[in-house]
């Protein structure tokens, strides 16, 4: 009898267990407790070395910010879409987002030194002219050049090492300027000395390549915004891409309200004034300006967005190259320009040089038809006097000064101009 009871109990117990299993499998919330879900798989933003230009190093800018890309702490705007694809490689610049803590993000500009077409053309020229082949190791080819061999032996960056490079910044080089480049070169961890002992062979080739193709990232490094220079902040580079603080190009403001146009025009003139007269006694001048040369931050502050066409004359030391030395040409002279391009003599650059360019190319587009008469007529007259360039330096500067006085009362003081608000409510200085 006891055996039958045990048998019945075991059958009932088994049936209850089966019912419990069925109930658990039918109840989603209970099943979740019993069986943990599979871990969430993070989408992958895979990079191509070719897109970044890392496959070209050390014929590149540097690698200081590559980790940010690979850790997804720099993201392209296109990654906000569902496709998560890299943008087209043929573009010259991209909008992106940057973070240091994965919580707060800020806009950045991600730019190439030159167009992909120009890069490809220059790479091909290096291989065909130096090694007589269609493709090659760019680093191997450039290392064999006479110029780079001189760089390897040099303890200090001297004017003869940069002679013939196409960068406007180096057309009239002084030793003081070259020392500043080495001392503040941000792609190495232990900068600070004017001597190149802390630069490896790889670092020297990257610096030489950057100076040869486009000096924009170097200017951002040696004249940083935190010291009051009108450039966006340099954040780093990866391969052939440069990352800097984001600005909107001036062309976006050509249709702006009159008070905004007046404010930007005054800032533009102030930037040019500071470029001509500053505590370091460097005279900056433009070889070309267009609607993308200047940019505006979200707080309304105007900066130089593209420094690639900026030349520098050292008013303290002068240039240590004479004109015939500038005619020296090699492969580094021809990476982005025609080797036959003639240099502008350092002695031919006057104080009115950049003012005339801006009065011809930018200020009319910013100020045309914005104001009531007779104010608009006076503005147009001053602009024409400046743009003609017929007057001497003093005459052009005088016309620009009168234009600035005319524009000052046309500005407004409100939150759209956060870079000077609310200070402008309490001081005429702003």
Q: For residue 395, which phi and psi values (nearest 5 degrees)?
A: -65, -45
Token pair for 230 = 């009108």
Determine contact, residues 159/171, Cβ cutoff 8 Å.
no
CA angle 210, 212, 215 (to 5 degrees): 55
For 302: left if phi > 0, alpha if psi spans -120 to 50, otherwise beta; the answer is beta
pLDDT mean over 293-314: 96
Determine contact, residues 296/247, Cβ cutoff 8 Å.
yes
Q: What is the pLDDT at residue 176?
A: 96
Token pair for 50 = 């070719």
Residues found in the chain: 430
17-21, 80-84, 124-128, 389-393 — which is least confidently predicted? 17-21
Q: For residue 141, which phi and psi values (nearest 5 degrees)?
A: -65, -45
Q: Tell me the chain's radius of gyration from C-alpha atoms.
A: 30
pLDDT tens-digit map of 327-337: 688 999 988 87
How far apart are alpha carbons 61 and 73 in whole angstroms?
20
What is the average pLDDT value for the chain, to the nearest integer?
86
Residue 220 has pLDDT above 90, yes or no: yes
pLDDT tens-digit map of 22-68: 343 434 333 333 344 444 444 445 567 889 999 999 999 999 999 99
Q: What is the pLDDT at residue 342?
A: 64
SS3 content of the chain, % helix, strand, coil (to 5): 50, 10, 40
Cβ partners under 8 Å of residue 301, min gap 6? 267, 419
Identify the residue with better confidence: 27 or 410.
410
Instruction: Note the Cα 362 to chain centre separation in Å.
Output: 21
How far apart are alpha carbons 164 and 341 in whole angstroms?
11
Token pair for 195 = 């001597």
The pLDDT confidence band at residue 4, using thresholds 50, 70 and 90, is very low
How far apart are alpha carbons 301 and 250 in whole angstroms?
11
Q: For residue 111, which phi and psi values (nearest 5 degrees)?
A: -130, 155
Enumerate the H helices of 27-154 as residue ranges.
28-34, 49-52, 66-70, 116-130, 138-143, 146-153
Cβ partners under 8 Å of residue 380, min gap 6? 368
Q: What is the pLDDT at residue 40?
A: 41
pLDDT tens-digit map of 347-395: 888 889 999 999 999 999 999 999 999 999 999 999 999 999 877 888 8
93 strand-pairing partners: 111
How far apart are alpha carbons 145 and 131 in whole angstroms?
11
């Amino acid at each position: 009898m006891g055996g039958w009871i045990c048998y019945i109990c075991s059958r009932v117990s088994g049936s209850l267990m089966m019912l419990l299993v069925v109930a658990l499998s039918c109840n989603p919330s209970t099943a979740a407790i019993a069986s943990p879900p599979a871990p969430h798989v993070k989408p992958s933003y895979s990079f191509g070395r070719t897109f970044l230009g890392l496959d070209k190093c050390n014929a590149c800018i540097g690698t200081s910010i590559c980790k940010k890309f690979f850790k997804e702490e720099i993201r392209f705007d296109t990654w906000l879409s569902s496709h998560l694809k890299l943008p087209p490689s043929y573009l010259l610049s991209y909008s992106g987002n940057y973070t240091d803590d994965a919580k707060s993000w800020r806009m950045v500009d991600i730019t190439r030194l030159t167009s992909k077409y120009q890069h490809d053309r220059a790479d091909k020229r290096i291989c065909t002219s130096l090694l007589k082949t269609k493709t090659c190791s760019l680093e191997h080819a450039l290392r064999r050049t006479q110029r780079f061999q001189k760089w390897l032996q040099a303890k200090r960056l001297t004017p003869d090492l940069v002679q013939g490079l196409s960068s406007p910044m180096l057309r009239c080089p002084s030793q003081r300027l070259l020392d500043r480049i080495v001392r503040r070169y941000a792609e190495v961890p232990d900068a600070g000395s004017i001597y190149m002992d802390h630069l490896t062979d790889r670092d020297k080739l990257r610096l030489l390549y950057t100076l040869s193709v486009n000096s924009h990232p170097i200017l951002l490094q040696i004249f940083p915004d935190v010291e009051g220079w009108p450039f966006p902040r340099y954040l780093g580079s990866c391969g052939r891409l440069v990352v800097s603080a984001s600005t909107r190009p001036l062309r976006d403001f050509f249709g702006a309200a009159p008070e905004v146009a007046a404010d930007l025009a005054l800032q533009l003139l102030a930037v040019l004034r500071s470029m001509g007269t500053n505590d370091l006694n460097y005279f900056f001048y433009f070889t070309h300006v267009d609607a993308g040369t200047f940019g505006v931050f979200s707080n309304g502050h105007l900066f130089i967005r593209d420094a690639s066409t900026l030349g520098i004359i050292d008013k303290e030391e002068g240039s240590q190259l004479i004109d015939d030395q500038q005619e020296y040409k090699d492969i580094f002279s021809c990476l982005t320009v025609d080797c036959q391009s003639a240099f502008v003599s350092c002695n031919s650059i006057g104080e009115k040089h950049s003012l005339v360019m801006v009065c011809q190319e930018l200020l009319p587009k910013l100020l045309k038809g914005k104001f009531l008469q007779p104010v608009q007529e006076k503005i147009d007259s001053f602009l024409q006097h400046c743009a003609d360039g017929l007057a001497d330096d003093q005459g052009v500067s005088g016309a620009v000064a009168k234009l600035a006085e005319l524009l000052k009362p046309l500005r407004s003081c409100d939150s759209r101009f956060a870079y000077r608000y609310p200070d402008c409510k309490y001081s005429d200085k702003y």
